[in-house]
Chain A
Amino acid sequence: MVTEQEIWTLLEQVTDPEVPVLTIIDLGVVRQVEIHDNSCKITITPTYSGCPAMQVIEEDIKATLKDVIPVEVVQTLSPAWTTDWISENGRKKLREYGIAPPENEVDKSVLFAEPPVIACPKCTSKNTRMVSQFGSTACKAQYQCNDCLEPFDYFKCLK
């Protein structure tokens, strides 16, 4: 009989389809694993309301646990996902992949506030600028490094 801990370990094989360097555990979208009798219920939460990855993640979870245990995947919206749930390991992987991990951000109600200072994931310079607060996916903003000129994604803070 498989244990909850073993299921958590197996879920570390499931990656985010949009940021494949992160597992769904790194990302913090798996909220709960419960084993009842001979089946398992896994609760996941979307990063953004319209996150198109949720369906793929659900299918990948089922495929990963196919020969292990019958699995039901449910989605929950509350408490709402926050970038604080990205693990330290996940932040490290993001940086190595060329995506700057989320920083604590200033109050978003302030218009034209200075965008957060984000270090370039290539050359680590903090002399960077925000190009757009919306990026290649819902969870990212676009930045460029003024020193090495590398354009890069910033995984924006969501709280």
Chain B
Amino acid sequence: MKELFEYTLRMADDSLILGHRVSEWCGHGPILEEDIALTNIALDLVGQATNLLEYAAVTEGSGRSADDLAFLRFDRDFRNLLLVEQKNGDFAVTLTRQFFFDAFRKPFFEALAQSKDEQLAAIAEKSLKETKYHLKHSSEWMIRLGDGTEESHARVQQAVNDLARFTEELFYMDEVDQKLISEGIAVDLNTIKPIWKAHVDEVFAEANLEMPEIKWPQKGGRQGMHSEHLGYLLAEMQFMQRAYPGMEW
């Protein structure tokens, strides 16, 4: 089914692109424990992307494999949120991006675990256990940085100011969602938004952070309209398969 493929692909691309972004920290973490934490989170995300892309490949039924979907699509064919493709910046930017995403993904997977689509429900149930650890990690860092030193507070507030405009897209829905919601497969994101907002507000209150007014919300990722950063990411992520087509370990 076309809608199910599209829906699965959107989720898969969120996990894959964010997973790749976070993996760029490998060997660059500010302290060893965080280097390890970030690479573990990246591994979870790429693992989720694998499960989702394998299912997307099945629902598409055109013979493309999960690897084909990951490594042989161009930027306009990627369906991820603009938030997840944004550059890592400093540690505060990376953690803020992760926090906004984790705060969405946890209630989202909780709801998707009730989906009438058995495979999506199974992937959600599995991924949820990992996402709980991610959200705890990113939430605690928001508080540590926001309620930390003058420097850490300034940096994380700046990251919040810069990334807030990408958060409305988390709740973007169109006819793909509507059709699958009516079939009991997809999650109605209107039900997720208040949960997301409550968690963000709670953490920000403790972190002395403020959510800015969002004057120009950015979206387009679900239609393949991306920021300039995605192409560079794909150039690195897809290099091996582009240079040596069909190459295997």
Contact = CB atoms under 8 A, between A and B. Distances in A.
Interface of A: 46, 48-52, 76-82, 108-109, 111-112, 131-138, 142, 156, 158-159
Given A77-B123, A80-B122, A49 B143 contact: no
Closest 3 CB pairs of A and B: A50-B47, A49-B47, A78-B122
A77 B122 contact: yes
A159 B137 contact: no
Contacts of B28: none
Given A50-B45, A80-B122, A133 B136 contact: yes
Contacts of A80: 122, 125-126, 129
Q: Is the interface of B mostly helix, strand, loop or mixed?
A: helix
Given A50-B46, A50-B48, A134-B36, A112 B126 contact: no
B40 A78 contact: no
B139 A111 contact: yes
A144 to B, nearest CB: 11
B58 interface: no
Contact of B125 (A46, A79, A112): A79
B50 interface: yes
Interface residues of B, number: 33
Nearest to B122: A78
Interface string B188-209: 0000000000000001001000
B132 A136 contact: no
A134 to B, nearest CB: 4
Nearest to A137: B40
A50 B50 contact: yes
Given A49-B47, A77-B51, 9 more contacts: A49-B126, A50-B43, A50-B47, A50-B48, A132-B36, A134-B41, A134-B133, A138-B40, A158-B129
B133 A108 contact: yes
Interface in B106-126: 118-119, 121-123, 125-126
B143 A111 contact: yes
B140 interface: yes
B169 interface: no
A63 B86 CA distance: 44
Interface in B25-43: 33-34, 36-37, 40-41, 43
Chain A: interface secondary structure? Answer: loop
A82 B46 CA distance: 20
19 contacts: A49-B48, A49-B50, A49-B130, A50-B43, A50-B47, A77-B119, A77-B125, A78-B125, A78-B126, A80-B125, A81-B126, A108-B132, A109-B132, A132-B37, A134-B133, A135-B40, A136-B36, A138-B130, A142-B33
Contacts of A78: 118, 121-122, 125-126
A27 B39 CA distance: 23
B127 interface: yes
Interface string B11-30: 00000000000000000000
Nearest to A108: B132
Query: Most B CB atoms within 10 A — which of A76, A80, A133, A159?
Result: A80
B77 interface: no
Nearest to A159: B129
B33 A112 contact: no
Nearest to A158: B129
A110 B224 CA distance: 37
Contacts of B33: 131-132, 134, 142
Nearest to A134: B37
Nearest to A49: B47
A155 B57 CA distance: 34
